[in-house]
A and B are shown apart, each in its own frame.
Chain A
């Protein structure tokens, strides 16, 4: 199942009306043709309106006050009537803690299972605070130290020796020099020794360049947002020294079934259009069922709170629910009668739930027998699931 990062919670709005302002800073031409504009471009109008209305104290080099940043993410209406669309659907508390953390000199670590909008939140935070979400390091197993500190332009280096001109600045280094927010994606995928180069940056707020005998000191306003996946904490767990430099905020899965059904249907519509699936009537019931199954297994308790369940090893994130439904729609459109039915999603659910063939299968069957079987109006679903599980 593919990981649709950011798909889970972010509300996407049509950025069209904001484009004019996006150009003010004179970026390279053709930017409005971008498949996906940066947050600071897409929502430039909202950011400008917020900045105009914001009369609270702003930390050094922040474009907005912490309160305004929180409003930008959570949505609201300004005194002048400008409507700020919500970028993040979830508890306000979380956004408040995140913004407050960035206002102190501690770095922010966003944790969450795939599909909980970590990247999305980090991008919008950087856009709102620094007006620039592009100072980004993508963490992979092959991320080198140069990506976090600095590299060399070897042609220059060979010709002139180590000079400031031969230095290639990393996004983190630029953020330090300019007092902006840097972002590190998938921090736990970065090898541990490379991760640890962040320690000096975060505690001493300086980046020594021994080759030149100088250093780059962070300017006020610099901070760092890292995202990491809850589920593969074990890949390259953070050393406790590094961990201590971060305040951790866990982005939760959608709190209510209605929220999640809403997010799923919206995304399914978008994806369906993108893939040019034949328009099939969306089985709203099936979506609700899939979301219910995912939520119940994830939470380890039925929605009515009466029965406890075992949780399977898979993530069962919103993103996976979206993928199950999309698959089911494709099945229904191409091989079924065009209507999304229990049978179309059953196989997908089985695949999402049963990751570990031994343990998860028992969990799934227990769930089928003790919960699904007795549920009113779920008979067809139960039969379909039994068929594929047999």
Chain B
């Protein structure tokens, strides 16, 4: 290193590095500060000095005509780069970014995976989207290469996959050499936690540079071949700066220091940079959050504890004691009893642990252990809160309004132009016909914006028309909307990507099942197929934990609808079907116990669920054939599992229908009816169940509820199966006078739902039927009340022929069951029923019974 150049090798987002950089810059006082970052952003460095700019912020570079291809360089308050920028602004030094231009790194993307937008951001977890959108390389490579602790996780996925296997983590190598098994801990002990002011401000950088040089001697490029052109570019820029200034400081990842210190021929460097692809790129500042800095937020080179680092960087002294005080404050806000004595003990324990573990200062690990043992009673629950609020932290950055527009705004403007939707302050209504492509796109855009809380359009209840293909929106562009767009820029660079990330986040954050279902529905409306896998996963998780069957039952129909209508274009609707199936399975298990001991209102609510779930399960297989075609193998198996599911549901219904009085009559009746309608219950069986439900042992109210449940599906049943009618009739006449008054409203409600024609027929049958029924029983030919004895095969055949013609041959099954029922059930069933009818029938002159229910 010569006198006119100072190389400061740092770890990105290392508070110790940041302090050291500040001290080194103060000591060296360079005229120019060169920072690892996209040179396109040189013009934006002035904004860093703007008081309205508050870190964490990120430099964003994106391809002009494709905002989805973008890369971010996040800076926190404690980032050495940020410290250097602020220092330079104060000292009046020149700031330049010296990394490979984003124009090259972003252009290189299209050489790899065909589409930069779709593929990379489909897979990652919620909130990851934007950071990775297009350019994982400039974002990740420096960090995994430099002494970034996030190296390991950053190496994993996508584009440069073939290089992964040989990459080394320089930090891990150093840590192993020093006898540490955790690279991060080693770096903390060796660099971040070093006490300040022990002599030469430049010494630590010297040491780090030497260590890195040793590693690079051994490992060469360490598996990062794409670093070579970057370092060549850095060297060229450094050369320029050295010509212009007397003292130049370079802040870059420690990994690059040896490469930048070596003397190479400028021509060789230029050769390396020749022929790189180029794209037109724009840069701007966007606000960032601590959560995104955290590794969990998906920033490949992220840090697990931005809040802790910020604390280390900003705390004037006694960082552990101050940290514990902060933690105590947070726990007190959550109503946990934490006294000053707790804080004292926690600090003592943390210090003692550090001594025992041989560390210079209690680190995050020691403080966390101490907090758990002293303040949290050994529980991890409050710790997650601390982790979330303090260790990661809620800090949100700010960018001055005069920063260049975010790509999201551009994308929105482009969409608005494409769909001819002008943002106007004047309120107006917009009618959309979703069958038209443009209108469908408009609807999707508005729904996406709603997801992003940009309330430009509000859906209005449509005028009159019931059709699902119509939507009415009230549009009004208010000035705040622009701010909302800027805020939403954090979620992504295009409206679609941002809405997807937002939806995923909303799903993950939601507390109850219904919220997730709502998000899922919004995703369908907004056409966000990318968010669905996450939403579905969350949905499955919530369903698993929700103990209330009613919630599950409420969620199922919408889900099945979604599967069935294939509302989601291009989604893995098999996944959707799987979730629906799992939900149905859980309902099957949980339904019978949930039906026990309900009052009338709860039973009514439950019956609604019963009907809905029944319909939904019946619809489920219908959706099968569609995905089967695309999925190929595995579908027969799943079709089988749907059949099994239906059987299981039938079992649940049968269970309900056969249960004793602990299950409300309404539900038992409804279950029996659903089984009967499906043909799973013979008419004889139904009569037996009805007989049971209406037998004298049952309270009249309960029996009436059973009838309500059983007959809710329509009264035609009574017209066609007079045995059932006779049972109802018989029961009704047996009800005592006082009880009758109680039962009346229920029956009224039941019969009022019937079609007038049915009501009349039932009435007529009751009046006339018994007369026929009095015919002595015993002969096999005895007919049902209201019908002639036996079956006149010839006449029936003629009628059946016509019916077949009317219905078409496919529905012969219906015919078969219809014809089956008469001889099969009528003959044996007649014998036991007949005597009852004979007794009762003459005593019912029709009048009261007939009028009563009406």
Binding site for B on A (CB under 8 A): 66-67, 70, 93, 96-97, 99-101, 103-104, 106, 109, 111, 240, 243-244, 247-250, 300, 307-310, 358-359, 361-362, 365-366, 369-370
Contact = CB atoms under 8 A, between A and B. Distances in A.
B544 A93 contact: no
A358 B593 contact: yes
A101 B349 contact: yes
Interface string B529-541: 0000000000011
B402 interface: no
B411 interface: no
Given A104-B349, A250-B379, A310-B544, A244 B373 contact: no
B356 A106 contact: no
Nearest to A244: B341
Contacts of A106: 345, 349, 374
Contact of A248 (B348, B373, B544): B373
Contact of B369 (A97, A240, A308, A358): A97
A365 B590 CA distance: 9
10 contacts: A67-B356, A96-B357, A97-B349, A97-B369, A100-B352, A100-B356, A104-B349, A250-B379, A310-B545, A362-B593
Contacts of A93: 365, 369
Given A309-B544, A366-B586, A370-B582, A249 B373 contact: yes
Given A96-B356, A97-B369, A106-B349, A248 B588 contact: no
B113 interface: no
Give chain B's interface secondary structure class. helix
Contact of B373 (A247, A361, A369): A247
A111 B369 CA distance: 15
Contacts of B590: 362, 366
Given A103-B352, A249-B373, A361-B593, 5 more contacts: A93-B369, A97-B353, A100-B353, A300-B545, A369-B586
B842 interface: no
Contacts of A99: 356
A109 B378 contact: yes
Nearest to B353: A100
A244 B342 contact: yes
B585 interface: yes
Given A109-B378, A240-B337, A101 B373 contact: yes
Nearest to A233: B377
A8 to B, nearest CB: 17
B416 interface: no
Nearest to A240: B337
Contacts of A100: 349, 352-353, 356
A30 B590 CA distance: 60
A82 B357 CA distance: 22
Interface size class of B (residues with CB under 8 A): 20 to 34
A67 B541 CA distance: 43
Contacts of B339: 244
B589 A247 contact: no
Interface in B364-381: 365, 369-370, 372-374, 376-380
Interface centre among B341, B349, B353, B378 (most CB of A within 10 A): B378
Contacts of B353: 96-97, 100
Interface string B281-296: 0000000000000000
A220 to B, nearest CB: 16
Nearest to A99: B356
**What are the 10 tightest A-B residue pairs by CB atom distance, in nearest-first order?**
A248-B378, A250-B378, A308-B544, A247-B373, A308-B541, A365-B589, A248-B377, A100-B352, A366-B589, A369-B585
A103 B345 CA distance: 12
Contact of B356 (A66, A248, A361): A66
A67 B586 CA distance: 51
B588 to A, nearest CB: 7
B403 interface: no
B547 interface: yes
Nearest to B368: A93
Nearest to B380: A250
Interface centre among B339, B356, B365, B380 (most CB of A within 10 A): B356
A238 to B, nearest CB: 9
Interface in B489-544: 540-541, 544
B373 A104 contact: no
B544 to A, nearest CB: 4
Contacts of B544: 307-310, 366, 370
B540 A308 contact: yes
A154 B595 CA distance: 64
A174 to B, nearest CB: 26
A284 to B, nearest CB: 29
Contacts of A240: 337
A111 to B, nearest CB: 5
Nearest to B377: A248
Given A96-B353, A249-B378, A307-B540, A370 B586 contact: yes
Contacts of A249: 373, 378
Contact of A243 (B369, B377, B582, B593): B377
Contacts of A248: 372-374, 376-379
A308 B586 CA distance: 12
Contacts of B357: 96
A247 B374 contact: yes
